[in-house]
Structures are given as C-alpha cells and as structure tokens.
C-alpha cells in the first residue's frame, strides 16, 4: 500500500495481494481520520460481500472468485471502539459483464486498486441500534 495526502484528500494505491478493507482501515488509522468518505476502482479475484437480512439482523454472505473489475467502491469512515470504522460497498463486473455487489466484507486486489479518501475536519462515531441490528452514525 502506498498513499499520498494532499490537504483533505488521500490518494491510496493498493497492490496485488493486498486486502481493501484492512488497507483502508490502516491508512485511516495512520492519518487519524475520524470522519470521511471514499471512492475507488480496481480489480479483484477474491471478494466477499454481504446483503443485510432485516429479519435475521445479520449479513448473508456471498463470495466470488475469478477476474473482476471493481466498477464502484464507495463508502465512509467513522470512528468506533477507539479505531476507524470502515463501511464500504462494492460493485464488480466479471466474465460476460455480469455484475455483483453489496456490503464489502473482504476483497483481495488482483492487479491494483486506486482509492481516494476525502477527509472531514470532524468526528462521526458509530453506535449499535439493537432494534435494527446495525451500527448507526452518532454525532
């Protein structure tokens, strides 16, 4: 992972074999980010997404392998339990142009990933909403 900060923006490049969620979390921690958003593109051949089941209050997981272009990586960074909380969604196109996506649980870069983090001068926390079963923003 390599990155460069220019004011409130961080340009992050991930290399083959690096995991996206952990890499974003590591950069956010190193740069003391407590509020921000991000977007990115790249390629992966090993990723897992979740789709939240409202009744079960848990993610149903789906794993994919094989060459996929990351056509959209979007999300935000907030703060929970003393560390950056990375919330990402991903859309990927595979063989034949078939598209899959969801809440990103894990993605290993197969070629490269280019991610731009837009930081905010502030703090956004997370707090568990037991009725919904998810962590909501706390201001």
Q: What is the pLDDT of residues 59-104, one digit of tens each?
A: 999 999 999 999 999 999 999 999 999 999 999 999 999 999 999 9
The Cα 133–Cα 90 span in angstroms is 21
Note the pLDDT of residue 33: 97
* CATH number for domain 2-138, candidates 1.20.1440.230, 3.30.1330.80, 3.40.190.10, 1.20.20.10: 3.30.1330.80
* Torsion angles phi and psi, residue 70, rounded to 5: -85, 105
> β-pairing, 83-93 with 134-138?
unpaired
44-54: pLDDT as tens digits? 999 999 999 99
What is the pLDDT averaged over residues 24-41?
Answer: 98
Note the pLDDT of residue 56: 96
Domain boundaries, given as residue ranges, for the chain? 2-138
The Cα 6–Cα 117 span in angstroms is 10
In the chain, the DSSP E strands lie at: 2-6, 9-15, 36-53, 58-80, 83-93, 99-119, 125-129, 134-138
Note the pLDDT of residue 9: 98
What is the pLDDT averaged over residues 94-118?
Answer: 98
């Amino acid at each position: 992972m390599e990155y460069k900060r220019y004011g409130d923006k961080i340009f992050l490049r991930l290399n083959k074999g690096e995991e996206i969620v952990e890499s974003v979390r590591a950069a956010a921690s190193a740069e003391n980010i407590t509020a921000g958003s991000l977007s990115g593109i790249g390629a992966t051949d090993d990723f897992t997404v979740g789709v939240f089941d409202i009744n079960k209050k848990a993610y149903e997981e789906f794993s994919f392998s094989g060459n996929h272009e990351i056509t959209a990586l979007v999300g935000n960074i907030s703060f929970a339990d003393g560390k950056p909380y990375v919330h990402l969604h991903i859309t990927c196109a595979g063989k034949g142009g078939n598209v899959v996506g969801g809440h990103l649980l894990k993605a290993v870069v197969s070629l490269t990933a280019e991610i731009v983090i837009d930081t905010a001068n502030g703090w956004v926390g997370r707090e568990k909403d037991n009725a919904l079963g998810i962590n909501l923003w706390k201001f």
